Structure 1
Amino acid sequence: MRPLAECTLENFKDIRFVLTDMDETLTFKGRLAAETYSALERLQRADIRVIPVTAAPAGWCDQMARMWPVDGVIGENGGLFFRRSEDPHHLERDYWHQGQAAELARQQRELLISTIREQLPWARLAADQSFRQTSIAFDIPHESEKRQQLSQVIIEAGAEHTFNNLWALAWFGSYDKLTMAQRILRQVYGLVADQEQSQVFYSGDSLNDAPMFGHFKHTLGVSTIHDCLDELPFKPAWVSAGAGGSGFVEAADAILKGRISSRKSI
């Protein structure tokens, strides 16, 4: 993991897709700065597709996909993908589970919530749970023992789970940020494996970003990644000087400079 300031113009010259975590990667302390929003617009104007890949609930993703300068949003840690349709006031919605599988997963989530409420009465659903369609989010307990207890109940129920800087997340299905990102990149945008490594950039800040850090070649951790480095099984290639959105702006600037440089050399 090297400081982003050390990268050369050549590093990101082939990037065509910027995938990024949202909470505390685009935002900082829960707020989205104007310069970060502007960076998203600048990337799009350079014909780079921008896709937030977040654990945030469907309700948040709906708003982002409709109104932000992005090409779509992967939400709930891989459970769904929303993007604008040809009619800019409508969305196309793609879910990891469809039909009967989606109904079964919904029933499993309801049962898990009941089980956790019974076995761990201190556990609290996240305030945004009512906006979720494919996952369960709990406020993260401060005590490591309680985190372990929550993890154990989720595992025993047969669910997947992870933590980020806001939530303890649980869902039913063999997917995560990476598997849904690969599905979208391949099925919607036609990328093949080699192109994923040369053309895709990912930025994040938390434990649930580890699969993305482990798979993609071009990755960045904003500076707060240092808070969870000891727990990360895979580390990003680069680290920004700034936290949250300011770190993302550093990355956008580096990508755009590399793109301009590559065009001048043609």
Structure 2
Amino acid sequence: MQPLSLAPLDQFSSVRFVLTDMDETLTYRGRLPAQTYDALARLEVAGIRVIPVTAAPAGWCDQMARMWPVDGVIAENGGLFLRRDEDGHRVERHYWHTSDTIEHAAEQLQAIARTVAHAVPQAEHADDQLFRLTSLAYRRTGTDLDQRILDALIQAGANATINNLWVLGWVGGYDKLSMSLRILDDVYGIDAEAASDLIAYSGDSTNDAPMFGYFRHTAGVSTVVDYLPQLPVPPRWITQGPGGAGFVEFADAILASRTTPASIAV
């Protein structure tokens, strides 16, 4: 992992998509800086498609897909993909689960939640649980309670992880990477082999690990250092700033690469 400032000018000349975590990668301390929103818009104007890939609930991501300068949003750690319809006022939803298994998956989550409540009575759902369609989220405490919730989720049959905001559980065997590769192929016609070089990814936490391990162009915002012991493969680059400021650095580096002779020749 090297400082992003040391990246060669043409390092990101092949990038055509930016996939990015949201919480504490686009945001900082829960807020979206104006400069970060502007960076999203500048990427869009330059013809680079931006897709946030986040553990945030579908309710938040519906608004993002409708109103932000992004091409779509992968929500709930891969549970579904939301994208503006052609008329600009409706949102298409692509679930990981097929239409005939969505209801069963929801029933499984309800059963898992009951099991966790019994095993860890102190566990509290996140205040955004109401807006979730495919996942369970529990409030992080920063104590050993987080690990106990994680263990209870796994023992109940869920896939589970901890990020910087939540202890998360879901069913279906997917993660950020598997859903990203499916959407890239199904919606954009980019296969997994090509994606490695055409995609840039930015993140800050443990549930970004599959993305850091797969894509060639990866950057962690500065706070990723807090999670390096839990990351089998660190991001290739690290920004100077945290959260949205770090994302702006990454966006600027990608946009600068598009002015190089190599990128113009593509």
> C-alpha offsets along residues 37-65 of structure 1, whole Å, 9 cap, x if unaligned?
00000000010000000000000000000
What's the offset of the Cα at 1:264?
7.6
Separation of aligned partners in 2, 1:264 and 1:90: 34
Report if the CA contact (8 A) 1:24-1:205 is conserved.
Answer: yes
For 1:1-20, list aligned pairs within 5 A.
1-20=1-20
For 1:24-43, list aligned pairs within 5 A.
24-43=24-43
Partner of 1:246: 245
What's the offset of the Cα at 1:116?
1.4
Separation of aligned partners in 2, 1:168 and 1:84: 29
Separation of aligned partners in 1, 2:26 and 2:80: 19
Question: Bigger CA drift: 255-264 or 244-253?
Answer: 255-264
Partner of 1:59: 59
Identity %: 56
Count of equivalent residues: 265
What's the offset of the Cα at 1:230?
1.2
What's the offset of the Cα at 1:258?
0.3
Partner of 2:91: 91
For 1:142-181, list aligned pairs within 5 A.
142-144=142-144, 146-181=145-180
SS at match of 1:260: coil
Q: Which amino acid aligns with 1:237?
A: R
Q: Which amino acid aligns with 1:43?
A: L
SS at match of 1:14: coil
Question: Bigger CA drift: 62-71 or 227-236?
Answer: 227-236
For 1:200-219, list aligned pairs within 5 A.
200-219=199-218
> C-alpha offsets along residues 98-128 of structure 1, whole Å, 9 cap, x if unaligned?
2331111101111111111122110000000
TM-score normalised according to structure 1 size: 0.97
> C-alpha offsets along residues 64-91 of structure 1, whole Å, 9 cap, x if unaligned?
0000000000000000000001110001
Structure 1: runs of 5 or more not aligned? none
Separation of aligned partners in 1, 2:5 and 2:208: 22
SS at match of 1:32: coil
Report if the CA contact (8 A) 1:13-1:262 is conserved.
Answer: no
What's the offset of the Cα at 1:265?
5.3
Q: Which amino acid aligns with 1:47?
A: G
The verdict on how the C-alpha distance between 1:177 and 1:264 changes in structure 2, with shifts beyond 3 A counting, is: closer
The verdict on how the C-alpha distance between 1:250 and 1:106 changes in structure 2, with shifts beyond 3 A counting, is: same
What's the offset of the Cα at 1:166?
0.2
Partner of 1:121: 121
What's the offset of the Cα at 1:152?
2.0
Q: Which amino acid aligns with 1:239?
A: I
SS at match of 2:260: helix
SS at match of 1:23: coil
Partner of 2:256: 257
Separation of aligned partners in 2, 1:218 and 1:81: 22
Separation of aligned partners in 1, 2:77 and 2:17: 18
What's the offset of the Cα at 1:208?
0.2
Structure 2: runs of 5 or more not aligned? none
Q: Which amino acid aligns with 2:93?
A: R
Separation of aligned partners in 2, 1:176 and 1:43: 25
The verdict on how the C-alpha distance between 1:118 and 1:12 changes in structure 2, with shifts beyond 3 A counting, is: same
Q: Which amino acid aligns with 2:215?
A: F
Q: Runs of 4 or more off by more than 6 Å in structure 1?
A: none
SS at match of 1:162: strand
Q: Which amino acid aligns with 2:126?
A: A
